[in-house]
Structures are given as structure tokens and as C-alpha cells.
Amino acid sequence: MPDQGKLTFIVGGARSGKSAHAEALATALASPWTYIATAQAYDDEMRERIALHRSRRGEGWTTIDAPLDLAGALEALPDNQPVLVDCLTLWLTNHMLADHDVGAECRRLADVLSRTRGPWFVVSNEVGQGIVPDNALARRFRDDAGRLNQQIAAIADTVLLMVAGLPLKVK
Amino acid sequence: MPDQGKLTFIVGGARSGKSAHAEALATALASPWTYIATAQAYDDEMRERIALHRSRRGEGWTTIDAPLDLAGALEALPDNQPVLVDCLTLWLTNHMLADHDVGAECRRLADVLSRTRGPWFVVSNEVGQGIVPDNALARRFRDDAGRLNQQIAAIADTVLLMVAGLPLKVK
Amino acid sequence: MPDQGKLTFIVGGARSGKSAHAEALATALASPWTYIATAQAYDDEMRERIALHRSRRGEGWTTIDAPLDLAGALEALPDNQPVLVDCLTLWLTNHMLADHDVGAECRRLADVLSRTRGPWFVVSNEVGQGIVPDNALARRFRDDAGRLNQQIAAIADTVLLMVAGLPLKVK
């Protein structure tokens, strides 16, 4: 496996294989592996998805839940260990629903990620390639998610776009 | 034209030029060419689109309709002939609307395609790069389509992402 | 900076960094720079976005508004000067809302762009990679935008797909 640099950013659409690819990249490195989950189980559909991801990861992973304080969770990590953050768009959703200052939160996260201290793999969704959404909240989310993805891609060492489960190297 | 391998998988958004590019790849090879259509004409919009595709293809093509039994249609084909399957997302829609076991159908299709017996060109839609859809059926379709695309891309020899009518090689 | 050819076409999703990248490419060349804006300020959200883009561009730019007669505006330009057209999907929307013959307008625009007379940078949105929209107008827009993008990409010297603010070379 080629050197991924320190920060690898993996973007892609729904069911494009982002998480599985990020896990494969992380587990190609020596354990222990840390999984930072941003999902909050609002409903059964989400609970099911979380359980599916968790069962696929299997042994050797430590899971940390960080639906809001992702920057704090990252800062508390030891150096030089593989870390998977899954995913930024859910984290952003959580902050929007909590009516937090999204711009400030994104800057704080970008600041921590710009000081990545190991092979960190960060997953995010591409949500801007469909028709303009009808409702204003969806449009704001789409804008904020796009801006966040740009911020993180700018500081990442490697950026991958997932297409049908395959990585396309963007950076 | 470079060797395409046996199975070429062509994914892309709506009106990204998937069908036209697949047809160009197929007709660059010696005829006879077989077109497997999965579309069902539910309404005028779809009827118009089917007619447009058919008129563009012109002479030298044999068209087989396989809205549901795509695996069976592929198995019945002779070896070593260019075949275009257009498209997997419509085929998936047909099975969902008929309330069939989508997982089982996808596995059966992937199994047949893993034993591709000629230059086969399979077209599918990317539907996961917009905002999360409001309704549960659209979300399920998006998930199933994404998983199917991953399955087929994994066994394909060549995977192309169409962008504004141009192919971007993913694999 | 490598030679961009004469016509550079920049496509991407919402908030993928299309405008900023196009501006960076244009301003890497000697001024004067011309910005052709196709946006019409229907509401506050759009007015805000227009103001944001305008403030980012800063000094050295001449702005021409061409919400409908983009072809005419391009034909009136002097030779060999950097021009940024932002963006084709808004221009298409304006023609659709005015109930004009979209096919004819697209052909006229493609004709002018096929005779590009300088380093012209044209921005457009990718809108076809989400779920099929519910309403017929959105589907028609998606189809027309996809076809227009194909037309322009076919005549462009360079085609870039923006992903999280980074350009992926398609042509």
C-alpha cells in the first residue's frame, strides 16, 4: 500500500463505499485502530445502519462517539495511530439541528485536522450534484457541507472520490 | 480503441452521455450488436425516451427486452459478441416496484456478469450524490442502486464515470 | 500554470469550488478580466450569493450582466482576453422560466463557444447525480442541463470536474 500521507479525505455519494474503503486503508496499518462515530441514532433506519457498520468493523477497533465535539475527541487521541472519522456530514447535521454556529465549528475542526498527528482517515458525503433542493434548510445544509468538504480537502494530504466502491484520486 | 477487457461498466448521472458512449464502444467492434433494454414504458415521458434511444442506435442492432429477467437474457446470449445492457437502475426499479427480493436478484445478476463471455457493456446511473431524499422508498432505492453499482464495479474489467459526455477512467 | 487551451469548461456540484477555481485560472493570466454574470436576483438568497461572489473578485474585473443573451455578450468581446462565464445552469434556468426555445438557445451558445477567441472559462453545474426529481419541470431542467454540459464539453479544450474544491481533469 502506498504512503497515504497523514490526512486522507474520502468523499463520495451515498453507498459509494466510502466507509468500507476507509476501513480497508486503516486496517492495512498496524492496530490499534480508533473509530470516531459521529452518528446519532434518531430513528430505526439510522440505528440499523450504525449496527451494520459496527458489525462489519469487527475486532481490534475502539469506538468513540463524538456527535458534536469531534475536534475535542481528535485532540485527545495519542499520536501515530490509525483513526477513522465517519462521517463529517452527520457531524455537520448534528450541529445544524442543535442550532450551533456551524462556521465556527467547521473552522475549529479544520484547525485540529491541519495538525493531524497520525494516519487519519476522514469520510464525508458529496451532496451537491443533484437538483437544487426545494426547501431552504436542505439548501443551507448542501452549501455548508460543500464548504466544509472544500476546507478539509485543502488541508488533506490525499483526497479520494469514491465511485461505485472504487477510489478515484483527486489529490 | 484500447482493449476494454470483457466487462465494461459505465456509470454516470442523468444525461451524462452513458448510453451514447456505450454504443460508441460497442459499435467500434464488429457487428452483430445486441442491445438489452430494461426500460418499461410506464408513461409518455419514458416511451419518448425509449423511442429516442432506439432511433439513435439504427441498423445492425438486435434489441432484447429484459425488464426483469436480465440474468436469463444474458445467459442465453452467444459468446464473443458485443452486448449493451441499458440500464441497471431501471432494471432495479422494475424489481422494486414488483416487490421482488432485490438482494437475491442483484446477486444472481452479479453472478452472471462475473462470467462475462464477450465484450459486454453495462450502463448504470449514479444517484447518490444529491441531498438525502425525503421519502423512504427513494432512500431505499438509492441505497440498493449504490450497492448494486459497487457489486458490478468490483467484477468489471473497466469502470468509466461519465462527466458531461466524457469518460473518466476509474478502473 | 499549464496552457489551458482556449476554452476551459469547469463543471461540478453546488459549493464544489467551481467559481473560485475559475477565477484563480483567469487571474493567473494578465488583466483586464471580464466576468459575465448570468444570475438574476429573484430573491434575497440569490442577491446574497451574487454580492458574495462580487466582493471576492475584487479589483481588475469588469462585470457584464447577461442573464439571457450570453451568446451576444460573448460575440461583443475583444479577442485574447480572459473571460469568465458564471454560470451556464443559471442562464439555462432564465431561458426556461422565460419559456424560450432552450434547444435553439443552447445551439447558438455552443456555436459562439466553438469560436472561442481567447482564454475563456465557462462554469456549469452538475445536477444529474441525485435521485430522479419528483416534478416534471425539475426533470426537464436536469435533462436540458445535462445535454448542454455535453455540448460544451465536446467543444472545450479542457474540461475540469471540481470535487471538494479540487480540479479533476476529465479532458
pLDDT digits (tens, 9 = 90+) for B47-63: 887 787 777 777 889 99
pLDDT digits (tens, 9 = 90+) for C21-76: 999 999 999 999 999 999 987 778 778 877 877 777 778 899 999 999 999 999 99
DSSP H helices in chain A? 18-27, 44-57, 70-75, 88-97, 102-113, 136-155
Please choose, from the candidates C127, C126, C68, C124, the residue with its C-alpha nearest in 3D space to the C-alpha of residue C96. C68
Catalytic annotation on B100? no
| A132 contacts chain B (CB < 8 A) | no
Could you tell me how far CA B81 lies from the centroid of its own chain?
17
**Segment among A113-122, B16-25, C3-12 with least mean pLDDT:** C3-12
Answer yes or no: is A2 within a domain. no
Angle separating helix axes C136-155 and C102-113, nearest 10 degrees: 20
**Chain B (71-130) residues lying within 8 Å, Cβ to Cβ, of chain A:** 124, 126-130
Q: What is the pLDDT along chain A (171 residues), one digit of tens a residue?
A: 445 569 999 999 999 999 999 999 999 999 999 999 999 877 787 788 778 777 777 788 999 999 999 999 999 999 999 999 999 999 999 999 999 999 999 999 999 999 999 899 999 999 998 888 888 889 999 999 999 999 999 999 999 999 999 999 999
Please choose, from the candidates C45, A101, A145, the residue with its C-alpha nearest in 3D space to the C-alpha of residue B132. A145
Q: What is the mean pLDDT of chain C?
A: 92
Name the 3-class secondary structure at C163: strand
Residue C106 burial (CB count, 10 A) = 21
* pLDDT the model gives residue C132: 87
Answer yes or no: is C2 within a domain. no
d(CA C102, CA C85): 18
What the block records as the C-alpha cell of C85 is 462565464
Answer yes or no: is A1 within a domain. no
Please choose, from the candidates A105, A95, A100, A88, the residue with its C-alpha nearest in 3D space to the C-alpha of residue A146. A88
**Segment among A22-31, B113-122, C42-51, C127-136 with least mean pLDDT:** C42-51
Residues of B in Cβ contact (< 8 Å) with A128: 129-130
Given a contact cutoff of 8 angstroms between Cβ atoms, the answer to whether A24 and A17 are in contact is: no
Complex ipTM: 0.90
Burial of C53: CB neighbours in 10 Å, binned 0-12, 13-18, 19+: middle
Strands of B7-12's sheet, edge to edge?
B61-65, B33-37, B83-86, B120-125, B7-12, B158-163, B166-169
pLDDT digits (tens, 9 = 90+) for C146-165: 999 999 999 999 999 999 99
Within C3-138, strands assigned E span: 7-12, 33-37, 61-65, 83-86, 120-125
Answer yes or no: is B108 within a domain. yes
What the block records as the C-alpha cell of B78 is 452467444
Answer yes or no: is C152 within a domain. yes
- Measured in degrees and rounded to the nearest 5, phi and psi for residue B18 equal -60, -55
Cell 445492457 belongs to B85
Is pLDDT above 60 for C2?
no
Which candidate in B11, B15, B144 is best for mutational testing of the C interface (most C CBs within 10 A)?
B15
- What is the domain count for chain C? 1
Angle separating helix axes A18-27 and A44-57, nearest 10 degrees: 30
Average pLDDT over residues C78-95: 95
Residues of A in Cβ contact (< 8 Å) with B146: 13-16, 164
- Measured in degrees and rounded to the nearest 5, phi and psi for residue A114 equal -70, -15
* pLDDT the model gives residue A113: 97
Detail the residues of A annotated as belonging to a binding site for GTP.
12-19, 37-39, 54-57, 86
Is C16's CB within 8 Å of A150's CB? yes
Which candidate in C129, C139, C163, C171 is best for mutational testing of the B interface (most B CBs within 10 A)?
C129
Given a contact cutoff of 8 angstroms between Cβ atoms, the answer to whether B156 and B8 are in contact is: yes
Which candidate in A87, A125, A163, A168 is best for mutational testing of the B interface (most B CBs within 10 A)?
A163
Range of the domain at A162: 7-169
Is B45's CB within 8 Å of C139's CB? yes
Residues of C in Cβ contact (< 8 Å) with A131: 127, 130, 133, 138, 141-142
* Closest partner CB to A13 (pick from B9, B146, B153): B146
d(CA C133, CA C130): 8
Residues of A in Cβ contact (< 8 Å) with C164: 9, 11, 124, 126, 146, 149-150, 152-153, 159, 170
> Percentage of chain C with pLDDT > 70?
97
Answer yes or no: is B100 within a domain. yes
Q: Could you tell me how many CB contacts below 8 A there are between chain A and chain C?
A: 74
Name the 3-class secondary structure at B39: coil
Answer yes or no: is B45 within a domain. yes
What the block records as the C-alpha cell of B63 is 434489441
Is B165's CB within 8 Å of C154's CB? yes
* pLDDT the model gives residue C1: 43
* pLDDT the model gives residue A5: 62
CATH code of residue A148: 3.40.50.300
What the block records as the C-alpha cell of B50 is 425509449
* pLDDT the model gives residue B2: 46
Is C45's CB within 8 Å of A136's CB? yes
Answer yes or no: is C1 within a domain. no
